[in-house]
């Protein structure tokens, strides 16, 4: 009888434990369902938030593209002002020789004047073609580049325009043994124009502005632009390539010049580096790979 009582008691305890377990299981199930519902609500809210962020991001990117295009056009305007000077000289020559032809009688001289006109017209055509090339905005067309020739062409366009800055002493140092690098000529030239103009603006009182080409290890060719201007504050150096960030006075910069340079060079599998000391000047270096 004692064993039966104990067995009965044990069965009762087990039934109680089983009921407790069932109650606990139901409680856990309710808690799980509540958690699932809460997670679903959070997921839906997060999805709506992500959708809103994507829409805002698209608007920002669209706005950035507009300002980037504006900055490119500003760079084109800087170049166009220089090219206007390059166009003026051959036009004057053409006008002068044409006047001589209309007044001349000597056939030998007429032939000489005609050749001068043809030569100046070809020069004019070359300048205009370079201007059109510079204005195109396409995906990178990477090809072999002679950075020394590119620097010569860019300096030719900018040399006269830099005269609007006081006492800028532009110097070019070229590595004549530099092998061809790979990149889009127009993109690299756009970047270089930006860097040279920035360097000139950083020296309101004038000073040396050095454009240099060379090799970095065996992987990259480089073109650097060095000024002895105001330099960049330490706290600003990490932000100089951010869109809309500028150290220039209000109304003097969009904050897109260096970000555009970075985008152009990185789109060509290259790199852009900056070194600067506040009050002592800056060096910006474009690195382009030797291999495609």
What is the tens place of the pLDDT at every residue in 130-141? 555 555 546 788
How high is the pLDDT of residue 214?
Answer: 96
- How many alpha carbons lie under 13 Å from residue 278 in its C-beta half-sphere? 7
Q: Residue range 242-256: average pLDDT? A: 49
State pTM to two decimals. Answer: 0.55
How high is the pLDDT of residue 133?
Answer: 54
Q: What is the mean pLDDT of the chain?
A: 80
How high is the pLDDT of residue 126?
Answer: 64
How high is the pLDDT of residue 157?
Answer: 74
Burial class (CB in 10 A: 0-12, 13-18, 19+), 235: exposed
Q: Residue range 67-89: average pLDDT? A: 61
Confidence of residue 68 (pLDDT cuts 50, 70, 90): low
Q: Residue range 119-140: average pLDDT? A: 64
Phi, psi of 172 (to 5 degrees): -120, 125
Closest by alpha carbon to 165, among 81, 280, 251, 84? 81
Percent of the chain with pLDDT over 70: 78
How high is the pLDDT of residue 254?
Answer: 38
Closest by alpha carbon to 190, among 80, 51, 43? 80
How high is the pLDDT of residue 79?
Answer: 56
221, pLDDT greater than 90: yes
DSSP 292: -
Q: What is the CA radius of gyration of the chain?
A: 34
67, pLDDT greater than 60: yes
How far apart are alpha carbons 152 and 154 in whole angstroms?
Answer: 6
Contact yes or no for 136/186 (Cβ under 8 A): yes
How high is the pLDDT of residue 155?
Answer: 86
Q: What distance lies between CA 51 and its chain's CA centroid? A: 28
**Strand stretches in the chain, DSSP E:** 143-145, 168-173, 181-183, 207-216, 220-227, 271-277, 281-289
Write the CA distances from 91 to 117, 118, 119, 219, integer angstroms: 9, 11, 11, 44
129, pLDDT greater than 80: no
């Amino acid at each position: 009888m004692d064993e039966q009582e104990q067995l009965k008691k044990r069965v009762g305890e087990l039934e109680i434990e089983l009921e407790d377990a069932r109650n606990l299981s139901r409680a856990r199930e309710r808690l799980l369902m509540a958690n699932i519902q809460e997670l679903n609500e959070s997921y839906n809210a997060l999805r709506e938030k992500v959708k809103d962020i994507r829409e805002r991001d698209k608007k920002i990117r669209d706005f950035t593209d507009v300002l980037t295009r504006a900055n490119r056009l500003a760079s084109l305007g800087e170049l166009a002002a220089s090219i206007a000077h390059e166009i003026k000289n051959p036009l004057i020559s053409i006008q002068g020789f044409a006047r001589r032809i209309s007044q001349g009688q000597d056939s030998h001289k007429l032939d000489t004047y005609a050749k001068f006109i043809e030569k100046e017209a070809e020069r004019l055509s070359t300048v205009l073609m370079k201007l059109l090339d510079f204005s195109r905005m396409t995906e990178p067309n990477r090809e072999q580049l002679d950075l020394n020739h590119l620097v010569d062409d860019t300096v030719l366009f900018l040399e006269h325009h830099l005269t609007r800055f006081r006492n800028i002493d532009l110097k070019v140092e070229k590595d004549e043994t530099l092998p061809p690098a790979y990149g889009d000529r127009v993109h690299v030239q756009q970047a270089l124009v930006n860097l040279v103009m920035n360097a000139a603006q950083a020296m309101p009182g004038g000073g040396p502005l050095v454009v240099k080409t060379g090799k970095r290890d065996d992987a990259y060719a480089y073109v650097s632009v060095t000024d002895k201007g105001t330099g960049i504050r330490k706290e600003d150096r990490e932000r100089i390539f951010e869109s809309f960030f500028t150290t220039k006075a209000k109304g003097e910069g969009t904050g897109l010049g260096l970000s555009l340079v970075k985008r152009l060079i990185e789109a060509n599998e290259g790199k852009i580096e900056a070194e600067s000391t506040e009050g002592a000047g800056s060096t910006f270096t474009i690195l382009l790979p030797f291999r495609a």
